[in-house]
Amino acid sequence: MLKSFALNSYKIRCIMAGKILETIYKTFPKSTKADWEKQAGKDLKGKDLVELNWQINTKFQLEAYYTEEEIENLDHGILQNYNPDWQIAQDYWVENYQESNSEILADLMHGLDAPILHFAKEPSLGELKKLFEGIDLAYISTHFANPSLELYSLWNQVLKEKNIAEAPVYFYFSKEQDLCSVKSIYIDLRKDYSGEESLVAELKSALNQAKNHLENSQNKSYCAKQLFFCFYVDSAYFLSIAKLRAFKLLFVDMLKEYNLNLDLPFIRVEFAPEKHFEITEDELVPATSMAMSAVLGGAEHILVRPGDESSRAKRLARNVQLILKNESGLHKTADPCQGSYYVESLTKLLVEACK
């Protein structure tokens, strides 16, 4: 009976909210872009509205604002086709396998779910088993930063001995390997980054590299599934969001050319070097802002590097993302910027600039 009462109460509140919104829409008629420009002209007291535009480079300029008119008939619904519960990453430089195992186990208890492993030398099967002792690999995403085919073979042996049929894994190879649909062709766009002016060039480079892999592949379907990408984000909040969204749309358009399944690309994100400051209490807000731009852009793996190697610094870096998940709930909504006049317009402009 209590459940029935609660459900009916919820329905009544929804109906009332709908009527309130309907009244608001009737009370305040829709404004056109011309209406906004007229009002802006008054507020600026004769100053030209064009002076507020943002000139990114000689070919790319952003207006001060966008309205519903700019995104009419725009359909970016495919950008919702991914898992928004992104992976929280952290680097591990593995030399002592027992120590690294203890460190990873402790961090897994405090928000980590996607360790990036850097090996000082090729591990043996025994060393790899020691590294993953007590870790249920089926519930984390393991990233190998300096992989080899031998390491891939050892990984499968570890899974077999742990009686795990399949576990999320990423191998950062630079070219296609015979690994079926495992994410193993790593396209690193960090070297193409040079700030806001490189936006279009960066996106074109990512597409060209992906196309080269597909053109040279005997099995384009497997190759497309193996591809994954790394981008920088910086303090240009809306541009960072639009860059990631635009790349996803461009990637899907490329897949259409090859008649492949229209799966969104897997994107991992780091902070641009000149924007990557020491993560201390004083810098948590700008760090959270950049991490949030990555999340809103649809990144699925985010690395916030700590200011030093202390456990406290690493905990602060992870907490940047944990706040966005546990306190903001951003991991529950795919493409939360969909419908935003400004972000949708920036995304559209970037896509058009790359064609």
Check pLDDT > 50 for residue 3: no
44-58, 71-85, 198-212: range with lowest mean pLDDT: 44-58
Verdict on whether the full-model pTM lies above 0.95:
no
Domain locations along the chain: 1-30, 77-353
Q: Of the ranges 91-95, 115-119, 270-274, 345-349, which one carries the lowest mean pLDDT score?
A: 270-274
End-to-end CA distance of the chain: 59
Interval 99-116 mean pLDDT: 96
Most confident of 40-54, 160-174, 281-295: 160-174
* Mean of the per-residue pLDDT values of the chain: 89
Lowest mean pLDDT among 40-54, 120-134, 165-179: 40-54
77-353: CATH homologous superfamily?
Methylmalonyl-CoA mutase (3.20.20.240)
pLDDT in tens, 146-157: 999 999 999 999
